[in-house]
Each structure stands twice: as structure tokens, then as C-alpha cells.
Amino acid sequence: MKNTLKNITERSWFPFAAIALAAALVYGRTLFFGFTGLDDDSLILNNMPFLTKLSSIPAAFARDAFAGAGSGAYYRPLLTLSFIWDAALGGSAPFFYHLTNLVLHAGAAMALYAFLRALGKEVWFALTAALVFCVHPLLSQAVAWVPGRNDLLLALFALLSFTAFIQFLGGKKHSLLPHLLCYACALFTKEGAIVLPPLFALYALWVRPSEEGRPALLRPALAWLAITAAWFLARAAALHGVLPGGDFSALAALVRNLPAFFPYLGKVLFPFNLSTMPVLADMSLLPGLAALALICGALYLGKATLREATFGWLWFTLWLLPSFARPLTFTDFAEHRVYVPFIGLLLIAGAFRFTRERVFVPALALVVLLGSLSAWRLGVFTGRPSFWENAVATSPSNVVARTKLGVLYFGAGLYPQAGEQWQAGLRLAPGDAMLTVNMGSLRFAEGRTAEARVLWEQALETDPLNKKALNNLTVLYVEEKDLKKAAVCVDRLLALGAKVQPALIADTARYRKGGVGLTK
């Protein structure tokens, strides 16, 4: 029996089977989860007319991933193509979207195993690292939350590209084409892949043993440049030349968000108190500082290869930093963004000279523990209520989370709970237009029409182009026979390209003069 088990574990297919089994055991239940209401509405549910047409495949390369519902700066055509695939299989049924995420996650873990083997790591270490990556609770959001697929695809293509590049450096010239193809796929998945060429060059010129000589990088470097230029031009055409942060706002955002580096690092070593939508105000720096101290102490005391450890540290840092350079009014630090950077810390672990006999049992116990934590955590991703309740419970300073949770409560007729969330949001962000509109809707539902009108008008003072406030006031003014004010609202809505009920247009026709402000 012992010999039979040994024969199985030594087979070349065993590591891949073990990874697939681990992914299925931990994440199999996600196949029956729903959508969360964070980005999947814009990317999938509201986008079904586009996703259900195979003729949309070329168009995916010529538009923003959110089709105008986002900031207009997310050029991610391969993500859209993957949703077209899911829509072809099952329309808007969440099952197929979650199934694709599960398969991609298992594929990324397998690609990590192959990458580590290409780096020269032993089978037992490569498999252990891939299993840790597969079951770590910090990475569960990328798998269980459908839009997290972007990071699954990015990891898969980046690892395949790097593995082929290592093979190319080892003399397998035919590996250059798959290397370049996977690099292009990574770029057309997410803009963060722009960090790959520096990592390729760093590995080839500095990490590889010096006795192998300086590799000839001219051909791949020219190809990287050509692919990057083609991606840049395609992106500029699709987004109409939008370059986020072109006015140095991205650099300012990077500096402002740098403290988030430590909470991300801390969650890798101490994966507790995780959040579906964390914000910096609620994130502790102490676990990250402790993790940094442990890593530095281990590197100082242990027998680690300095170049490999440095390369792993640079991998973690370079992949993580672009997520900080988002010049947005509201910035969250969702945990799916550490999916690819996480690999860098595994590379640091690989820089140590462990023996299988000393670490096999602790490593196996660690995989079981992490898998158990992930399986327990997955409950927060089952659907909208659990997702947003976790966001508020773990990140009480998150205004967006409180807004979304209040909307869910309001839709369920839980008016006091909705009001509690929106009032808490207004204390965090006084005068927020959307929260003010929502409070007006709550007062209207409670029969307090006068208060609703005041709140909606206050929202317009803050945000004159708020469609929801304009629409609500139009209906209210028409009901109150104040058609002049209603006409001004209709003019604004039409100017914004919003859909207006034909009855409201007809009721206000004689008073519409193209006005731009509410008359008193």
C-alpha cells in the first residue's frame, strides 16, 4: 500500500490533480452563489444585450469594460470575452460565471506550480506553494466574486508567459512565441501587466546564475515594446485617449494610498478580519509591520538566496503599487488586488533552503488550516446581503458599503434599517448627493412628502446633474401641479440623455424652455 501511494505521488500528473482537488473542495460551493451587486451588475447583468451576441467579440476590443457605466478607464477586453463565453453557456445564470472562476483559479495555481518548477524549485516545494496559493483565504474574493476574474486571468497569463520566457532563456527558442502571446493576453486583460517586461529583464540579467552568461534579450525586448505599443494604441482608441492620472493625479493617489501596503502584507501572514470592501480608515498597519519584521528577520537569520528573495519582494511590490494609483474620490482596497502580488511572497519563501523532511508536515497542516479558513469565509460571498453586511461590519467607514446596504434594506421594506445605514453614511460624508437622494426616497415612502422634496432639492444643489433626484422631483412636481419646476427638471434629464416617461414630457410641454436651473 505504501509503495502504491508513493508511486502515485511521484507521477507527473499528481501535483495538478492535487491542486484541482483542493480547488474543488474549498471553492465548489461557490457554484451555487449569486451575484453581489458590486460591479457584476454593470459588467454582466446590465450588459446582457451585448454579452449575448457573438458579434460583440470584436467590439470588446473597442470599448471600456463597463461600457460607460464606470470611470471610462478600464480597458479589459479579455475579461469581457470571458463573460461573453459565460453568457453563451447560460445567459445571466450565476452558475456558469462562478464555474469559470473556479476553473481559472485552479488553472492559475497549476500555472504557479509549473512556474516554480521552471525556476528550479523541487516538486514538493512547488506543490506546497501552489496549494497555499490555491486555498489562502486572502485570495478567496478573486474566486468567489465574479468580477475578481480579472485577477485570475492576469495571474494565469503572467505565469504562463514567465514560464515560457524561462524556457526560452534555457535554449528552447520555440518558447518565445507562446511567451509573447501570453504577455499580450496579460496586457489585454489588465493594465497592471505593464510591470512584466521589467520583471522579465530583471530575472534574465540579475537572478539567473551568472555562469550562464548574459542572455540575448534584444529580440524579446523589441517584441515587448511592439506588443506594449499596440496595446497602448488600442486602449487609447477604445477609451478615446483617456489617460487616467495624466495630470499627476495618479501619482498623488499613489502617495496617498501607500500606507495600504502594510495591511495587504499583514493579511498574507495573518489572514484574519478580512473584508469584502476595506477602506484605509478601517485598516490596521500593525499586522503588516509585524509581517515585515518577521520576513526581514527570517531573511537575516535564515539561509536565503538574496537575489531570489529580492526578486520576490520586487514582484510583490511592483504588482501591488498600480492598484494604489487610482485617482478616484473613493478608493477601496479590495483583497482580490493582492492575488498576483501574493506570488512574490511565495518566491521569497522559495529563496530559503528548506528540507522536505523538516517542513512537510507543518506545510501540510498549514494548507489544511488555510483551506478551512477559506471555506468558512466563503459565506460572505453567497449574495448581496451577506456581501454588503460584511463590508459594513468590517469596514464601518465605507460610505459606499453603507449606501448599498441601505438600498438592499429599502428594497426589502426594512425602512428603519435603511435609514440607519444612510444616516451613518451622511455622518461620514455630509452632503453626499446620493445618500441625500436616498433619504428623500425613504421619507417619501414613509409619507413625509415635504421632507422628501427638501432632501431631493438639497441633493440637486450639491449635484445639479443627479438623474435620480431630477426624476423624483419631476414626478413630485407634476403631482403637485407645479409644472414649471417639473419642466425644468425634464429639460435637464433630456439634456443628460436620460429616459423620461412620455406622460411627463407631455404634461410639461408648454412650460419647457430649455432651462438649466430650478426656478423658485
| Per-residue pLDDT at 129 | 96
Total residue length of the chain? 520
224 Cβ contact partners less than 8 Å away, ≥ 6 residues apart:
180, 183, 196, 197, 200
Separation between Cα atoms, residue 213 and residue 216, nearest integer Å: 9
97 Cβ contact partners less than 8 Å away, ≥ 6 residues apart:
40, 44, 83, 86, 146, 149
Helices (H), 239-334: 249-257, 261-269, 286-301, 306-320
φ, ψ for residue 91 (rounded to 5)? Answer: 65, -125
Checking if the pLDDT of 95 tops 70, the result is: yes
For residue 483, the tally of other CB atoms under 10 A from its CB is: 18
Separation between Cα atoms, residue 483 and residue 474, nearest integer Å: 9
Tell me: the pLDDT tens digits for 299-326?
988 888 899 999 999 999 999 998 888 7
Contact 23, 134 (CB under 8 A): yes
Tell me: the pLDDT tens digits for 167-220?
999 989 999 999 999 999 999 999 999 999 999 999 999 998 655 556 779 999
| Per-residue pLDDT at 5 | 46
Checking if the pLDDT of 61 tops 90, the result is: yes
Which residues on neighbouring strands pair with residue 352, listed in sequence order? 304
Separation between Cα atoms, residue 81 and residue 85, nearest integer Å: 6
Contact 321, 265 (CB under 8 A): no
The SS3 of residue 493 is helix
Tell me: the pLDDT tens digits for 24-49?
999 999 999 999 999 999 999 999 99
The SS3 of residue 92 is coil
Q: Report the chain's mean pLDDT, rounded to a whole number.
A: 91
Checking if the pLDDT of 281 tops 80, the result is: yes
| Per-residue pLDDT at 516 | 43
Checking if the pLDDT of 69 tops 70, the result is: no
